[in-house]
Amino acid sequence: MTVPQSPFAALMDITPRPPVVFADGQGSWLYDTQGNRYLDLIQGWAVTCLGHSPAPVVKALAEQGARLISCSPAYHNEQSVRLAGALTRASGMDQVFFANSGAEANEGAIKLARRWGEKNRGGAYEIVTMDNGFHGRTLATMSASGKPAWKTLFEPKVPGFPKVPIGDLGAVEAAITDRTVAVMLEPIQGEAGVIPAGVDYLKALHELTAKRGILLILDEIQTGMGRTGTLFACEQAGIVPDIMTLGKGLGGGVPLAALLARREVSCFEYGDQGGTFNGNALMCAVGSAVLAEITAPGFLERVQTASDRLWKGLEALSGRHGFGAVRGQGLLLALDLKKPVGPEIVAEALADGLLLNAPRPDSLRFMPALTIADAEIDQALAMLDAVCRRVA
């Protein structure tokens, strides 16, 4: 007897995946090839910020696709000029380099900081980074990340990323030497389980880096583009970093990321940085459409209203099931389960048609579409409640 081959056999098996195959998406809902529907509180890991196949993104893809998709990065195109202008005006940064993934944007941030250190700090190149931080899956960004499971992976690591515990200003001060060029962190550690750096800590880091003449690099790949209720999370601390990276929500589902820098720091020379697809017209047109939606009057206020509703609902649910606190900002929230039942809840929720993520066994993470309706929040909470009753 021959064993039937898995329909997924031609795909590299890089992570455990359920046998579901998605075919369609609309707003907060995904549909599999069997016609089952799922309420999606993952949204491609905070990527499809306007929900699945939202009209403004579909329109930008169709219109720009018919006009110009890509011309060599050796030329300017109308859409990259337009998006760079809008992003710098919105962020208070001065210049942008577009990338195709968050990891590539962070890789660029690391290169830019090293370039700046070479020119301004006698070749300093070390970047102080955080335990449990996540910056991507290239060799340098894995080295910059503080994921415990990666510690001994793909040796030798790229050197120059001393780690400190997040929230400990003294540890950062102690880690700064003549070789230090920057401090790099996420305003809220997403993959670590939604761990906020805290407004006071961010402010203090901003002051400290300025005083010591080094750079502050904020990885806003997960927290940016309205995810935390403001366009960028750093606005809540009232700071503008020297370098900022964006990804995920920036493209609303298409591969688009950005490296932004203040003028004094934006020191790449010809040949330092580039890439075939970088700043292509099609992705940048989508980025402009997404940014226009998020910055439209009332949009971010609505994110905050939805956040309050989800937060209160999770607190009530937590009370009923003996779980812990809710944490996070805007529509990047987590629920402390106090015991390692996250994976079981996620599996049961999938069977019921609810997509959830457990970044740690003892936590659930919620990153719904920023456009999620009140009725969908209530429905998700009711579904989760039923799952928790079964799991308990």
Ligand X SMILES: *Cc1c(COP(=O)(O)O)cnc(C)c1O
Residues at the contact surface with ligand X, assessed by CB under 6 A: 101-103, 106, 134-136, 186, 190-191, 219, 221-222, 247-248
Closer residue to ligand X, CB minimum distance, 192 or 372: 192
Residue count of the chain: 392
- What is the separation of C-alpha 129 from the centre of its chain, rounded to a whole number of angstroms? 17
Smallest gap from residue 133 Cβ to ligand X (A): 8
Smallest gap from residue 122 Cβ to ligand X (A): 29
Smallest gap from residue 257 Cβ to ligand X (A): 6
Active-site residue, from 40, 232, 248, 362: 248
Closer residue to ligand X, CB minimum distance, 112 or 124: 112
Closer residue to ligand X, CB minimum distance, 115 or 135: 135
Smallest gap from residue 312 Cβ to ligand X (A): 26
248 is an active site residue: yes
Residue nearest to ligand X as judged by C-beta position: 102
- What is the separation of C-alpha 327 from the centre of its chain, rounded to a whole number of angstroms? 17
Using alpha carbons, select from 172, 90, 193 the residue that is nearest to residue 130. Answer: 172
Q: How far apart are CA 315 and CA 324, in angstroms?
A: 8
Active-site residue, from 97, 98, 134, 232: 134
Closer residue to ligand X, CB minimum distance, 191 or 348: 191
Smallest gap from residue 105 Cβ to ligand X (A): 8
134 is an active site residue: yes
Active-site residue, from 40, 219, 242, 362: 219
Closer residue to ligand X, CB minimum distance, 242 or 348: 242
By annotation, the residues acting in catalysis are 134, 219, 248
